[in-house]
Amino acid sequence: MRSHHKILFGLIMAVMLISPVAKVPVDYFDFSIMPLKGHIVYAEYPEFTWQSWFDGSYQKNYEKYLEDHIGLRNFIVRIHNQMDFSLYRKCQNKGIIVGKEDYLYQMDYIDAYLGKTFIGYDAIIEKCDKIKAVQEELKKLDVELLIVMAPGKASMFPEYIPERYLNDSTGISNNTAYLACFQEHGINHIDFNTLFREMKDTYRYPLYHKCGIHWNVYGAYYALDSIVNYMEAAKGIDMADMSYEGIEMSFKPRATDYDVGNALNIFSRIPDRAMPYPYGYKYITVGKDKPNLMVIADSYYWTIYNLHNSKRLWNEQDFRYYNMQLFSPDQPDKELKEISVQEMQKFDFIMIVYTEQNVDVLANNFFEKAYAVLFESIRLEEIKASIRNDEQWLTKIEAKAERKGISVEEMIDRDALWLLMKELENQSSNTNNE
């Protein structure tokens, strides 16, 4: 072992000595070195000012710039990372945990699985009350709500998590509590977290790569097929028939199957079982129903979204990434619109797809906004109806409309909206005073 240490140390020192001058031949001969993977922010060239010179910040920033842009830097980083991983099973990325048999995890997933991010029963019950109310109001608009609980790497493979982390379990996770609450409230959902765990030892194909944090391509295809079956039953429709010609088993990971492994930034690839990759995707759409779909989802939906030709299932698909960025296949420049009754009513299905790591912020305020606009809309219509049914009130509205030179309906809309805003202000004031 000591001889290995000496060899590696000597190699690293040799590279470090030649690297300052290596920038010239690297640039001159256009020799490319694979960039580092993951979220890496390189220091920019600092702007010189006399103030920054005398307070020392210029020198400090310039030193950081040199470190980040030195010749063969990426190569040096990979040597260092490879040595730590090969000799000690250590990872320089603090967010990545190397588990037993080289299963890789992100710490956030382990924390969520152990319940360390648990937001409490009261918060979850309050959220489910809103979700149920939104689900019922959307149903009146002929819009189906569906929550998809995607699997999580930590709950999928807890047996490979290092023992030192398992002692910190609180006994309850957001995922477990939400699923129980969904059952009690009658909230539409598909629980892939439990389903995939039950399948992992008996199903003919693996559903995860040991070095990936997301379901593999086949796992995403299986989930999409299940979602389509659910939608057909929910609305009594006949969507496109999905199939594929065959499965190619490959030891070379594709798509997001090696995403955590890439973030290690080492030279070697950690081996795992061959992964299943469907090929020859077929979607028979002739004479089939193509619903409009709004999706609010985290990164787990990307694998589904990018399945070959899967977009043919939908007439329109709006993918709201964390409810902050909009991705629409046919309209790449489409803007993310604020949630409104009119916007939601355009869709046949509104689907939420979140994994256990992100369930503490389920749908990123979508339900809160949807609840507000749906029930404000209902209250607004109630106020309008009250105006129309009260002769004296309606007479005053008609006179006001004539003075302003607008229609009676527009005046009713204006007054009803003004009264609603006053109600909401009073409610907010009362809440703040409690």
Indicate whether 376 belongs to any domain. Answer: no
Indicate whether 310 belongs to any domain. Answer: yes
Are residues 169 and 207 part of one domain? yes
Overall number of domains in the chain: 3
Note down pLDDT in tens along the chain; length 434 residues. 445 555 554 555 454 444 444 444 433 333 345 666 655 565 676 776 877 777 777 677 756 665 655 657 777 788 888 888 888 888 888 899 999 999 999 999 999 999 999 999 999 999 999 999 999 999 999 999 999 999 999 999 999 999 999 987 878 999 999 999 999 999 999 999 999 999 998 899 999 999 999 999 999 999 999 999 999 999 999 999 999 999 999 999 999 999 999 989 888 899 999 999 999 999 999 999 999 999 999 999 999 999 999 999 999 999 999 999 999 877 766 778 788 899 999 999 999 999 999 999 999 999 999 998 898 888 888 899 999 999 999 999 999 999 999 999 999 999 988 998 887 777 656 544 54
pLDDT tens digits, 42-54: 567 677 687 777 7
Indicate whether 369 belongs to any domain. Answer: no
Are residues 247 and 141 part of one domain? yes
Are residues 197 and 58 part of one domain? no
Are residues 399 and 304 part of one domain? no
Are residues 326 and 230 part of one domain? yes
Are residues 78 and 149 part of one domain? no
Indicate whether 373 belongs to any domain. Answer: no
Indicate whether 416 belongs to any domain. Answer: yes
Supply the pLDDT for residue 21: 42
Measure the CA–CA gap between 112 and 127, rounded to whole angstroms: 18
Predicted TM-score of the model (pTM): 0.78
**Domain final residue, candidates 27, 62, 88:** 88
Indicate whether 30 belongs to any domain. Answer: yes
pLDDT tens digits, 291-341: 999 999 999 999 999 999 999 999 999 999 999 999 987 776 677 878 889
Indicate whether 334 belongs to any domain. Answer: yes
Domain limits for position 262: 106-364
Supply the pLDDT for residue 22: 43
Are residues 399 and 307 part of one domain? no
